[in-house]
Amino acid sequence: MANSAAQNETAKEVSTKHMILQPIHGRLTSTNCAIILMDYQPQFALSINSADADILIQNGTNLAKIAKTFSIPTLLTTIGQSSFGGPVVSGLQKIFPDQEPLDRIALSVFEDTRVLSALEQIGRNKLVIAGLWTDFGVAASVQQAQQFGYEVFVVVDACGDVTLRAHTLATQRLCHEGAVPMTWLQMLLALHRDWAPPEAYDVLFNIAKNHASAYGLEIQYTRGGLDGRQTRLVNDMPRERGWPNAPGFRSDH
C-alpha cells in the first residue's frame, strides 16, 4: 500500500508538467497521434458481455496492425498481470514482440509515471485509446488524458464491458465529455486518405479484406477479377479517402 501511495503521489507531481499546450484540433494522422492498448487480458476478456469477446479482441488486434503498418507509437499496458488479469492476449503481443507491457496498479494509465514518461518522449497531442473494460480503466484513462490536454479518440468497437449497459453508458459519458468515438475501420480510412506506398497498401488491403465484414466482402469481389471485370469494377466505384466507399461510411463523420 505504501508503494501504491508513493507511485500515485509521484504521478500527480509529474502531471503538472505534462500538460499539452500546443493546438490539438485537426484531422487524425499517423504523425500526430499515439495509441494506448490497455488490459487486453484473459480475465477481462472472459467477463465481456457487451459484445462477442472474440470480435473485440480481433478489433483490438486490427488496431494494433494499423499502428504497426503506419508506424504509430503504441503502448501496451496491463493491470494486475501476475495477480489477476493475466498476460496480454498472444495475438496482440505477437504484433509487438519486443514490447514489454507496462503492468499497472491503478485504473488510469495516467497514474503510472512510466506511461507519463513514455508519452512525454513521444510528444504527440492526440491519443487513440482502446481496451477492456470500457467503464473501468478505459474511462478513467480517457478522462484523465483530457484533463492533461490531449484530444482523445476512443475506438468503441475495440472496447467492451461486463454488460452492454455499462459499455454504452460509459461511451456516452466519454463522448459527452469531449472524446471522439470511432471504429477501427474508420481509423484505417481516416489515416489512409491517399494511396499509401506499395509496401503499405498490401497490408492495409489484407486488414480490411479479412476483418471488415461486408466491406471486406466488397473488396474481395472488386479485386477478384470475376469474369475479367476487375478493372472496370474498381474504376467505376466512387473513391473516398483513397478507398472505395465503405457501407455506411461518410467523410463528414
Model pLDDT, residue 238: 45
Specify whether the backbone of 83 is left (phi greater than 0), alpha (psi in -120 to 50) or beta. Answer: alpha
Model pLDDT, residue 10: 53
Model pLDDT, residue 36: 98
The kind and range of the H/E element at 37 are strand 33-38
**Domains parsed from the chain with CATH numbers:** 2-190 (3.40.50.850), 193-244 (no CATH)
Cα→Cα distances 54→124, 156, 201, 204, Å: 31, 15, 26, 21
Q: 36 near 88, Cβ under 8 Å? A: no
Model pLDDT, residue 239: 43
Model pLDDT, residue 197: 57
Compute the distance between CA of residue 87 and CA of residue 89 in angstroms, rounded to an integer.
Answer: 6
Model pLDDT, residue 193: 66
Compute the distance between CA of residue 94 and CA of residue 90 in angstroms, rounded to an integer.
Answer: 6
Model pLDDT, residue 211: 56
Grid cell for residue 38: 490497455
Model pLDDT, residue 106: 93
Low-confidence stretches of the chain (pLDDT beneath 50):
14, 16, 21, 216, 225-253
Q: What is the DSSP string of 73-106?
A: -EEEEEESIIIII-SPPHHHHHHSTTPPPEEESS
Q: 115 near 77, Cβ under 8 Å? A: yes
Amino acid identity of 229?
R
Model pLDDT, residue 192: 76
Angle between helices 198-211 and 213-223 (to 10 degrees): 120
Compute the distance between CA of residue 208 and CA of residue 62 in angstroms, rounded to an integer.
Answer: 9
- Bridge-partner residues for 76, per DSSP? 37
3-class SS string, 167-235: HHHHHHHHHHCCCEEECHHHHHHHHCCCCCCHHHHHHHHHHHHHHCHHHHHHHHHHHCCHHHCHHHHHH
Could you say which DSSP state residue 150 is in? -
Span 110-140, pLDDT tens digits: 999 999 999 999 999 999 999 999 999 999 9
Compute the distance between CA of residue 171 and CA of residue 177 in angstroms, rounded to an integer.
Answer: 10
